[in-house]
Amino acid sequence: MRYRLPAEWEPQSGVQLTWPHADTDWHYMLDEITANYEIMAREISKRESLMVVGPPSNDTWARDHGFITLIDDSHHCQLLDFKFNGWGEKFPAELDNALNRRLYDEGRVRGEYVSHLDFVLEGGSIESDGKGTLFTTTCCLLAPHRNQPLSKEQIEERLKEWFCVERVLWIDYGQLTGDDTDGHIDTLVRIAPDDTLLYVGCDDPTDEQYEELRLMENQLRTFRTLNGHPYRLLKLPMPQAIYDEDGLRLPATYANFLVVNGAVLCPVYSQPDLDEEALRIIGQAFPDREIVAIDCRSIICQHGSLHCCTMQFPEGVLT
């Protein structure tokens, strides 16, 4: 029996949303963000099961505190529970870190519970092609207050063992301004069928992120599949800069989309030309799925987007 981490576009049993409430950082805009979550919930539940998780929780980023699920060819599942520590102890996470065990004990998910609570890992920090390659970023997995004193090589060996992959491809550039996560891959580079990489680019040399994203693009051009072929690269535009009320730039990105059964839910930011271009490019990567735009201007206020808010489960997990 060999487990693997499926690609996100493989069949799903459902998606988790951890719901906003007054004791989260959304308290000052709870009505607005709740309306946004209701839109996400409707679009997901049209296509598959939706699991809504309520308090107690510190916050709502299901991608980073949720189970990471492995499957085998017989649809047996392993539910991997990693430690979430608020992206390197930046924020409280004790309640979020207890959610998976609660869901398992309540019987809301099926599978073999596997504890890795001695290792810090967030779901947004890794991407899988489902066939032996795991992608991640150096700036996140080697960031302070996660898994020191482990070296990059030691972390890679654990990732290969736990996720049953042949190799790990490390992206060394590209952290977005305002990103609390230290450079999660799901804000930068996403995997799509047919060895396709969707990545955020920047064409404005005056943008503070231009050089990092240029270096990231150059590195992606050097990557090869397990068969030795270059990846198909599709460049997503960079949204025009969005700032919070204190004048700090928020990490808006079109890469933080969510693949569900039959559709891709895509973040947009009321920037019509750029939104349309991003939707068109994502549609090239997923030509057999409906492309659904969801306004994420409220979600970006807390430095996240669609993918960050959700965790998908493969077939066989949700009860």
Q: Is 208 a residue whose pLDDT tops 90? A: yes
Q: Contact, 68 vs 123, CB < 8 A?
A: yes
Average pLDDT over residues 136-159: 97
How is 15-51 classified by DSSP, letter by letter? EEEE---TTSTTGGGHHHHHHHHHHHHHHHHTTSEEE
What integer pLDDT is reported at residue 319 of this predicted model? Answer: 73
pTM of the model: 0.97
Q: Quick check: 28 pLDDT over 80?
A: yes
CB atoms within 10 A of CB 236: 22
Q: Per residue in 57-83, pLDDT tens? A: 999 999 999 999 999 988 899 999 999
C-alpha 64/C-alpha 265 separation (Å) is: 18
Task: Please report the pLDDT score of residue 2 as a whole number.
Answer: 87
Mean pLDDT, all residues of the chain: 97
Q: What is the pLDDT of residue 139?
A: 97
Within 8 A by CB and 6+ apart from 243, the residues are 249, 250
How many angstroms separate the CA atoms of 21 and 184, rounded?
25
Q: What pLDDT does 1 receive?
A: 59
Longest dimension (CA), the chain: 53
pLDDT at 106 over 70: yes
